[in-house]
DNA sequence: TAGCCCATGTAATTGGTTACATGATTGA
DNA sequence: TCAATCATGTAACCAATTACATGGGCTA
């Protein structure tokens, strides 16, 4: 009973207006990129599925092959299915935190390598936090009037808060590990 | 080039001493449970794979069917493979944060349901944080002498910090949403 | 005219879950 | 004697990724 989340990601975008597969792929990899991703080849099968299930209608735009477009429109059933899913509690995923797994097995690592892994993780978090900050200002200036601005900013805020918490943890972890290695 | 993380989770446990499949499964679902999980049916194929690759040796304990045991020992190659993996940077996973996706599509939700989803998420985070706190004290009193205690406590600390950051974010998000609904 | 973007799709594979199947031993 | 735990495994399925395939249009 797992929940086709790709389908709802696409359906949610369609709820904001008709789109082609290509536009959806681009939107996911730009607008949603800091909390969602889909692989390229995934969008089209999902759109076919939505159409088959009656959650979206296809509008064929004629054109030469390699240039024809299919624009998808959400249906009433589609809006209902989306609202149903939005109202359901988030499904907790089984945890799989690779950094913590490596930390847990840390005493089997080669000397200094665990600390290096944590430092690299910390660096990435810092870069990601910086990117989110500039995204926040871009969003605020470019989309200042849209109704879902607040939701967008909240999603960015979540990312920033959890990255900051991660960075602080990395500092604590590095302190601990340095202390341990001092006694070796 | 995805990275068989199940195999390294098992290998990491074997590095701490020989174990049977059953013991590994139990250990993952208790000791590692707050940051790692494997499904039941997964352990045995992984162990076969490790043995085939020469990373573990099998010690057959004879016995009646339904009671025979296979105890796996890590090999020198296994320790090397584990250390190699431990020294490699954590692979960033494509982000898929269902709560933020729902938030982003929040204006298509039914009235009040988005807030309810966030409140439920917050409640779960609070319970998880409480469980982690008691785990921390249990670990500290029961395993006070082991060399990897510090690593264990750090992994718990990571969980607590990120849960606390999540809870605070939920509060902010609920404030924002309540404010918006007041004007509707 | 080359390179990039627009545009849609399929096939093979992976990593993993779920459900199923079997049977022995131990303790209440 | 019955339930829980010990113990190992297979089959079917699933969501999603990766790689592949095709081709048009635009711009420097």
User: In degrees, to the nearest 5, what angle opens at C-alpha A9 toward C-alphas A150 and B165?
Assistant: 50
Separation of CA A184 from chain center:
41
What pLDDT score does A2 carry?
58
Give residue B101's pLDDT band: very low, low, confident or very high (50, 70, 90): very high
B119 near A CB under 8 A:
no
B159 pLDDT higher than 80: yes
Please name the residues in contact with B135: beta carbons below 8 A apart, sequence gap of 6 or more: B34, B156
CA–CA distance, B48 with B153 (Å, rounded to integer) = 32
pLDDT digits (tens, 9 = 90+) for A145-180: 777 899 999 999 999 999 999 999 999 999 999 998
Contact B90, A98 (CB under 8 A): yes
pLDDT digits (tens, 9 = 90+) for A78-120: 999 999 999 999 999 999 999 999 999 999 999 999 999 999 9
Q: Judge: A105–B121 Cβ closer than 8 Å, yes or no.
A: no
Higher per-residue confidence, B65 vs A45 = A45
Nearest nucleotide by C1' position to the B64 CA atom:
C24
B49 near A CB under 8 A:
no
Chain A residues touching B135 at Cβ < 8 A: none
Average pLDDT of chain A is 93
Nearest CA-CA partner of B6 in A1, A129, A53, A101: A101
* H/E run at residue A58: strand A56-61
DSSP for A119-169 reads: HHHHHHHHHHHHHHHHHHHHHHHHSTT-TTHHHHHHHHHHHHHHHHHHHHH
pTM of the predicted model over 0.85: yes
Nearest to A103 among B103, B155, B172 (CB): B155
CA distance B1 to chain A (A): 15
Q: Around Cβ B166, how many Cβ atoms within 10 Å?
A: 22
Cα R_g (chain B), whole angstroms: 22
B86 near A CB under 8 A:
yes
Please name the residues in contact with B101: beta carbons below 8 A apart, sequence gap of 6 or more: A5, A8, A9, A12, A32, A35, A36
What pLDDT score does B40 carry?
87
CA–CA distance, B42 with B59 (Å, rounded to integer) = 20
Separation of CA A51 from chain center:
24
CA distance B67 to chain A (A): 30
Scanning chain B, the segments in alpha helix (DSSP H) are 5-14, 21-30, 43-52, 76-87, 98-104, 113-142, 149-182
Q: Which residue of B has its CA nearest to A89?
A: B117
- When pLDDT is averaged across residues B81-95 and rounded to a whole number, the result is 95
CA–CA distance, A129 with B41 (Å, rounded to integer) = 38
Q: Judge: B147–A95 Cβ closer than 8 Å, yes or no.
A: no
pLDDT digits (tens, 9 = 90+) for A24-72: 999 999 999 999 999 989 999 999 999 999 999 999 988 777 788 999 9
- When pLDDT is averaged across residues B115-121 and rounded to a whole number, the result is 98
Angstrom distance, B42 CA to C16 C1': 8
Average pLDDT of chain B is 93
B78 pLDDT higher than 50: yes
Nearest to B87 among A9, A107, A110 (CB): A110
Instruction: Return residues with beta carbons within 7 A of strand D.
Output: A 2, 4-7, 37-42, 64-67; B 1-2, 20-23, 25-26, 40-41, 44-45, 47-48, 66-71, 94, 96
Q: Which two tokens stand for residue B5?
A: 């993380």
Q: Around Cβ A181, how many Cβ atoms within 10 Å?
A: 12
Q: Judge: A165–B162 Cβ closer than 8 Å, yes or no.
A: yes
CA–CA distance, B100 with A173 (Å, rounded to integer) = 28
Protein-covered nucleotides of chain C (CB closer than 7 Å) are 6-11, 14-20, 22-25
Contact B5, A96 (CB under 8 A): yes
Helical axes B113-142 vs B149-182, angle rounded to 10°: 160
Angstrom distance, B112 CA to C10 C1': 42
B1 pLDDT higher than 60: no
CA–CA distance, B103 with A150 (Å, rounded to integer) = 10
Share of chain A above pLDDT 70, in %: 96
Angstrom distance, A120 CA to D27 C1': 40
Protein-covered nucleotides of chain D (CB closer than 7 Å) are 6-11, 14-20, 22-25
């Amino acid at each position: 009973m797992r929940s086709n989340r790709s389908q709802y990601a696409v359906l949610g975008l369609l709820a904001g207006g008709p789109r082609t597969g290509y536009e959806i792929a681009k939107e996911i990899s730009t607008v949603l990129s800091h909390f969602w991703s889909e692989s390229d080849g995934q969008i089209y099968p999902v759109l076919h599925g939505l159409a088959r299930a009656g959650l979206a209608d296809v509008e064929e735009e004629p054109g030469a092959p390699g240039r024809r477009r299919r624009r998808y429109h959400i249906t009433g059933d589609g809006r209902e299915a989306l609202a149903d899913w939005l109202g359901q509690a988030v499904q907790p995923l089984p945890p799989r935190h690779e950094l913590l797994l490596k930390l847990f097995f840390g005493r089997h690592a080669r000397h200094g390598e665990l600390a290096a892994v944590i430092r690299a993780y910390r660096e990435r978090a810092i870069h990601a936090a910086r990117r989110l900050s500039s995204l926040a200002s871009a969003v605020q200036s470019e989309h200042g009037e849209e109704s879902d601005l607040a939701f967008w900013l909240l999603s960015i805020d979540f990312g920033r808060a959890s990255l900051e918490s991660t960075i602080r943890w990395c500092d604590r972890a590095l302190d601990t590990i340095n202390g341990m290695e001092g006694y070796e």
